[in-house]
Amino acid sequence: MSVTPVESQSASESTLKRWSRYLYRHQLTRFLLVGGTATGLQYVLLILLVELTTLPNVVCSAAAFALSAVYNYLANYYFTFQATQKHSESSIKFALVVAVGLGLNTAVFYIADALLPHYLLAQIVATGVTLVSNFLLHKFWIYRK
């Protein structure tokens, strides 16, 4: 018994619809998806800045964090939290959270970069430290309903 292309396509659509419904219902999953893609962007920017410039690693890390924050804000506003407040309200709060995250990321990166053999390992440690505080600040302060 073989599956026809039409049956296969409808099975794919069903899977896609189930996945879409799952994402819609699970805010933490959407937050992690947005955060993961923002983190991926941050890492790409970090690698480019470290490898293509003569800036110190800690400056590259801070710049990559700050640049990926714009994507993070917009994706969380529209996709993760489906915010209803005006950008003028949430963007100010987000900027403060980014400032806290940037400070935390930069401090942890600075220490880890001195202790670990590669800057990407230092960034992994810094990313891990900021994850929980960022989610809590986003959920309960920036985008609360």
pLDDT digits (tens, 9 = 90+) for 42-64: 999 999 999 999 999 999 999 99
Q: How many CB atoms lie within 10 A of CB 129?
A: 16
Residue 116's φ and ψ, nearest 5 degrees, are -105, 155
Query: Is residue 18 included in any domain, yes or no?
Result: no
Domains in the chain, number: 1
Instruction: State both tokens at 113.
Output: 């970069």
Quote the domain boundaries for residue 47. 26-142
Query: Is residue 42 included in any domain, yes or no?
Result: yes
Query: Is residue 16 included in any domain, yes or no?
Result: no
Kind and range of the H or E run holding 65: helix 57-75
Query: Is residue 14 included in any domain, yes or no?
Result: no
pTM over 0.85: no
Query: Is residue 72 included in any domain, yes or no?
Result: yes
Query: Is residue 85 included in any domain, yes or no?
Result: yes
Query: Is residue 3 included in any domain, yes or no?
Result: no
* 91 band by pLDDT with thresholds 50, 70 and 90: confident
